[in-house]
Amino acid sequence: MEGWILLNPKEKQQPDGNVYRMNSRNAKSFVPPVTGKSQTISLAHGSGGKAMRDLIEDVIVKSFDNPALNMLDDQARFDLKELTSLGDRLAFTTDSYVVDPLFFPGGDIGTLAVNGTVNDLAVGGAEPLYLSCGFILEEGLTVETLRLITGSMKKEADKSHVSIVTGDTKVVHRGAADKLFINTSGIGVIPRGVNIAATRAEPGDMVLINGFIGDHGAAILEARGDLSLKSSIESDCQPLSKMVQAMLDVCPDIHCLRDATRGGIATVLNEFALCSNVCIRLDEKEIPLRDEVRGLCEILGLDPLYLANEGKLLAIVPRESVERVLEAMRLLPEGQYSAVIGEVVEVPEKRVLLKTSFGGERIVDMMVGDQLPRIC
Amino acid sequence: MKYVDEFRDPEQARKWLEKISALAKQVQAGKDRPLHIMEVCGGHTHTIFRYGIKQMLPPEIELVHGPGCPVCVLPMGRVDDCLALAEHPEVILTTFGDAMRVPGSLKSLLQAKAEGADVRMVYSPTDALSIARKHPDKEVVFFALGFETTMPSTALTVLQAEEEGIKNFSLFCNHITIIPTIKAILDSPDLQLDGFLGPGHVSMIIGQHPYLFIADEHKKPLVIAGFEPLDILQSIWMILNQLKEQRHEIENQYGRVVQVEGNHNALEAIEKVFELREFFEWRGLGSIERSGVRVREGYALYDAERKFSIPNLKIADPKSCQCGEVLRGTLKPKDCKVFGTTCTPETPLGALMVSTEGACAAYYSYGRMDSFESKRETTT
């Protein structure tokens, strides 16, 4: 059995006529201990035999909180009519998560794996619907760790009303992977009339962000414990699909939208400038940045514009809609600190410029190399 | 943030720039070229580009980016030696992050790490010592880099290792000293510098006296400057003021940190652990007399060059690179033959393109505004 198949808990979208009962009990407390079995993952758990089935049933299926009715199928199936009723295009995306450490203030690899893929769908204007989930487990990982992570995946999936409908588990020798890697792919549907693309930034457009930059990168850096620094910085890992829908409600013609993960806002804005053949001018003093993150950057010589985020998006919207969009964003917790941080101008083409808070101006280039490896 | 924002106030900046503009016009009048002021330190180069100071200054002033980025002036042979150490099966090599990408003749430490060498990034030499404590079966080598700024912490770590009796910790020492290099620049025949911004952090250790020859023998003003943007502006104004009054003195703008005498304890630790080498090779500048230090005989146990046989390679810089001319201030980064074409931050040929404090990398990442500005003028 290559894939483990779980069922779609979204009752309104059940395609095959079967009745699936939602289980609302807390996923973590619902999962019984793996009694009489090893409490750590062994190669047997990836062998395709009984140990693997037990692991899937006892930990993964129960965490994701789906009655496992159809374990023998190798694929999830969707009714096309249901999908086409939501829009006219499918959005499909994939991402792998290898963050180190697995747990950090504000989230863990599971919250990243769900929100990262959900957000990749959301910023295309899509309503996220289904996720797949592939685990690569290192021999020796504790079952409890896996359970905590699948628990947070379920919790985050519920927030965005998405279902984890198919997946796979592999176990590799100790040293062949670092504890746990996750791949998630996602499918969503894009409503008619929405046309978001990195090529659509036009002179006159405004640039928006939904809050403080660099929190995730800073939180991971600190969680690694290499620095003898203590602060209260938490990852900003959060789903953005609800906010994107709210933005599209007030402005269906959003030109560009992208979540700023690795490479930070500098990288995304450079992509917009490059793809649209325009210049993006930022105003440093308008960019929301927490004092703690700024302090950490000062100490370590990092530039917050390149620090990773896991719950921040950049939007380029027509100037006449900017107030409406900003207001819609600020009404939601994930957009509470939204701000207009710049504008699109004609020249110099394919460049991002920053008016520094000191009054000078400089180029914000693409990041070279890695400020930090394995942040998501 | 308190204690930082005061030094980044745009309103203050505007006032200083007005004063600078007025003074620069007077001082430059009658000269056929702009005034050349060299910032010796890479930290200053970074601030200048980070805050866009270069574009704020009047056309009468041109900043020249000096040799004060220790990663940039490291010769390729030393990087290769370090790689040989890193690839030793018993060695854990520890280094500051910006040294990871410096290209050797074949590869960088980052590439060696990808190929299996145990290379770890640390934030201070004491982190390296902690790794040594944790891995008594391995030799932990710290790739010691930097001017007098970082020398004391390296020296104190060696003293700490000695006190604890830790025997599996050593330095691959590439510490360098700034004064002989400024001297070499001043002695170069194509010199066209009118004044210096002195390195604030180095001066915190060595004090003001070592710079006196610049004023006395070479008749050039030097102002020891802090690293915030207003520090830079004020220091530039102080240099202009000296030029106007035809003075050439060592002045200290960074009085909140730099004492006239320097830091006695730090100097003592340096003196105890290190001694001057007769010569040290600088990338782009060649061999400079008494410009580097090595570990003293008495601390041989902590000297990787004594503990391991090191190839001690001499490798010429790529011919196309003009790092030396850029370092001496006779060529602007963008006028180098390979700048932005075969030499970019992604694939650096010359060392100045490697670190964010390197003149070329800073110019490439933050600075390439000149061409845009002329373009903007033609389109608007």
Radius of gyration of chain B (CA): 21
Mean pLDDT (whole number) for A225-239: 83
Indicate whether A117 and A210 sit together in one domain: no
**pLDDT beyond 60 at A318:** yes
Domain hosting A165: range is: 4-190
Mean pLDDT (whole number) for B239-243: 97
Query: A287: distance to nearest CA of chain B, Å?
Result: 15
Query: B137: distance to nearest CA of chain A, Å?
Result: 20
> Residue A290 belongs to a domain with what CATH number?
3.90.650.10
Between the alpha carbon of residue A194 and those of residues A84, A330, B87, the distances in Å are 15, 22, 54
**pLDDT beyond 60 at B371:** no
Q: Does the CB of B3 have a partner CB in chain A at under 8 Å? A: no
Quick check: is A368 in a domain?
Answer: no
Q: Does the CB of B51 have a partner CB in chain A at under 8 Å? A: yes
Tell me the chain B residues in contact with residue A346 when contact means C-beta distances shorter than 8 Å: 379
- Which of A285-289, B61-65, B205-209 shows the lowest mean pLDDT across its residues? B61-65
Q: Does the CB of B55 have a partner CB in chain A at under 8 Å? A: yes
pLDDT for residue A297: 87
By CA distance, what is A285's nearest residue in B?
A: B10
pLDDT for residue B262: 93
From B286, B327, B302, B289, select the one nearest B45 (Cα to Cα): B327
Give the integer Cα–Cα distance in Å for B281 and B313.
Answer: 11
- Which of A17-31, A309-323, B218-232 shows the lowest mean pLDDT across its residues? A17-31
pLDDT for residue A211: 97
- Chosen domain end from A142, A161, A190: A190
Q: Where are the beta strands (DSSP E) in B42-199?
A: 61-68, 91-95, 119-121, 139-146, 169-175, 195-199
Quick check: is A178 in a domain?
Answer: yes
Number of A–B residue contacts, CB under 8 Å = 73
Instruction: Tell if the CB–CB gap between A351 and B372 is shorter than 8 Å.
Output: yes
**pLDDT beyond 80 at B329:** no
pLDDT for residue A14: 36
Q: Does the CB of B366 have a partner CB in chain A at under 8 Å? A: yes
Quick check: is A343 in a domain?
Answer: yes
List, for residues B174-204, the tens digit of each pLDDT value.
999 989 988 988 888 777 899 999 999 999 9
Q: What are phi and psi of B72, to 5 degrees?
A: -70, -30
Give the rounded percent of residues in chain B with a pLDDT score beyond 70.
Answer: 95
User: Total structural domains in chain A?
Assistant: 2
By CA distance, what is B9's nearest residue in A?
A: A358
**pLDDT beyond 70 at A35:** no
Q: Does the CB of A361 have a partner CB in chain B at under 8 Å? A: yes
Give the integer Cα–Cα distance in Å for A248 and A251.
Answer: 5
Quick check: is A156 in a domain?
Answer: yes
Tell me the chain A residues in contact with residue B10 when contact means C-beta distances shorter than 8 Å: 357-359
Q: Among partner residues A347, A348, A362, which is closest to B366 by beta-carbon distance?
A: A362
Give the integer Cα–Cα distance in Å for B22 and B249.
Answer: 22
Q: What pTM was estimated for this model as a whole?
A: 0.83
Indicate whether A296 and A323 sit together in one domain: yes
> Residue A85 belongs to a domain with what CATH number?
3.30.1330.10
Instruction: Tell if the CB–CB gap between A362 and B49 is shorter than 8 Å.
Output: yes
Give the integer Cα–Cα distance in Å for A361 and A355.
Answer: 4
pLDDT for residue A17: 33
Quick check: is A77 in a domain?
Answer: yes
Residues, chain A, total? 376
List, for residues B9-48, the tens digit of each pLDDT value.
999 999 999 999 999 999 999 899 999 999 988 889 889 9
**pLDDT beyond 50 at B379:** no
List, for residues A115-163, the tens digit of each pLDDT value.
999 999 999 999 999 999 999 999 999 999 999 999 999 999 999 999 9
Indicate whether A103 and A216 sit together in one domain: no
ipTM: 0.80
Indicate whether A231 and A347 sit together in one domain: yes
**pLDDT beyond 90 at A108:** yes
Domains of chain B with CATH codes: 76-176+292-307 (3.40.50.11740), 323-379 (no CATH)
Indicate whether A210 and A151 sit together in one domain: no
At residue A70 the predicted structure's pLDDT band, cuts being 50, 70 and 90, is low
Instruction: Tell if the CB–CB gap between B4 and A369 is shorter than 8 Å.
Output: no
pLDDT for residue A7: 40
pLDDT for residue A57: 81
pLDDT for residue B106: 87
List, for residues A171-212, the tens digit of each pLDDT value.
999 999 999 999 999 999 999 999 999 999 999 999 999 999
Quick check: is A27 in a domain?
Answer: yes
Q: In A, residues 258-297, which contact B (CB 8 Å cutoff)?
A: 291, 294-295
Mean pLDDT (whole number) for B342-348: 84
Q: Among partner residues A226, A358, A369, which is closest to B10 by beta-carbon distance?
A: A358
Taking the alpha carbons at both ends of chain B, their separation in whole angstroms is 38
Instruction: Tell if the CB–CB gap between A358 and B364 is shorter than 8 Å.
Output: no
- Chosen domain end from A190, A214, A246: A190
Query: B212: distance to nearest CA of chain A, Å?
Result: 31
Tell me the chain B residues in contact with residue A361 when contact means C-beta distances shorter than 8 Å: 52, 55, 369
By CA distance, what is A371's nearest residue in B?
A: B97
Average pLDDT, chain B: 89
More confident residue, B313 or B205: B205
Best mutation site among A292, A296, A362, A366 for testing chain B: the one with the most B CBs within 10 Å? A362
Instruction: Tell if the CB–CB gap between B369 and A365 is shorter than 8 Å.
Output: no
Indicate whether A57 and A26 sit together in one domain: yes
Mean pLDDT (whole number) for A279-291: 96
Mean pLDDT (whole number) for B56-76: 88
Q: Does the CB of B134 have a partner CB in chain A at under 8 Å? A: no
From B142, B267, B156, select the one nearest B204 (Cα to Cα): B267
**pLDDT beyond 90 at A48:** no
Quick check: is A195 in a domain?
Answer: no
Instruction: Tell if the CB–CB gap between B52 and A362 is shorter than 8 Å.
Output: yes
Strand, helix or coil at B224? strand
Give the rounded percent of residues in chain B with a pLDDT score beyond 90.
Answer: 60
Q: Does the CB of B347 have a partner CB in chain A at under 8 Å? A: no
Instruction: Tell if the CB–CB gap between B101 and A348 is shorter than 8 Å.
Output: no
Indicate whether A118 and A247 sit together in one domain: no
Best mutation site among A303, A368, A370 for testing chain B: the one with the most B CBs within 10 Å? A368
From B25, B48, B14, B11, select the one nearest B240 (Cα to Cα): B25
Radius of gyration of chain A (CA): 22
Q: Among partner residues A300, A347, A368, which is closest to B376 by beta-carbon distance?
A: A347
Quick check: is A118 in a domain?
Answer: yes
Q: Residue B183 CA to chain centroid, in angstroms?
A: 15
More confident residue, B318 or B269: B269
Indicate whether A172 and A218 sit together in one domain: no
Indicate whether A32 and A173 sit together in one domain: yes
Residue A107 near residue A237 (C-beta atoms within 8 A): yes
**pLDDT beyond 80 at B92:** yes
Q: Among partner residues A300, A351, A358, which is closest to B51 by beta-carbon distance?
A: A358
Best mutation site among B20, B51, B110 for testing chain A: the one with the most A CBs within 10 Å? B51
Best mutation site among A358, A363, A371 for testing chain B: the one with the most B CBs within 10 Å? A358
Q: Does the CB of A373 have a partner CB in chain B at under 8 Å? A: no
Give the integer Cα–Cα distance in Å for B97 and B143.
Answer: 11
**pLDDT beyond 50 at A32:** no
At residue A355 the predicted structure's pLDDT band, cuts being 50, 70 and 90, is very high
Give the rounded percent of residues in chain A with a pLDDT score beyond 70.
Answer: 84
Q: Among partner residues A226, A291, A362, which is closest to B1 by beta-carbon distance?
A: A291
- Chosen domain end from A145, A165, A190: A190
Indicate whether A182 and A211 sit together in one domain: no
Give the rounded percent of residues in chain A with a pLDDT score beyond 90.
Answer: 66
Indicate whether A170 and A240 sit together in one domain: no
**HSE-CB of A200 using CA atoms within 13 angstroms:** 15
Mean pLDDT (whole number) for A213-242: 88
Q: Which two tokens stand for residue B224?
A: 């020891």
By CA distance, what is A357's nearest residue in B?
A: B10
pLDDT for residue A5: 52
Q: In B, residues 265-304, which contact A (CB 8 Å cutoff)?
A: none
Q: Does the CB of B379 have a partner CB in chain A at under 8 Å? A: yes
Mean pLDDT (whole number) for A220-227: 81
Indicate whether A181 and A236 sit together in one domain: no
Tell me the chain A residues in contact with residue B376 when contact means C-beta distances shorter than 8 Å: 347-348
Average pLDDT, chain A: 86
List, for residues B104-163, the tens digit of each pLDDT value.
888 889 999 999 999 999 988 999 999 999 999 999 999 999 999 999 999 999 999 999
pLDDT for residue A76: 82
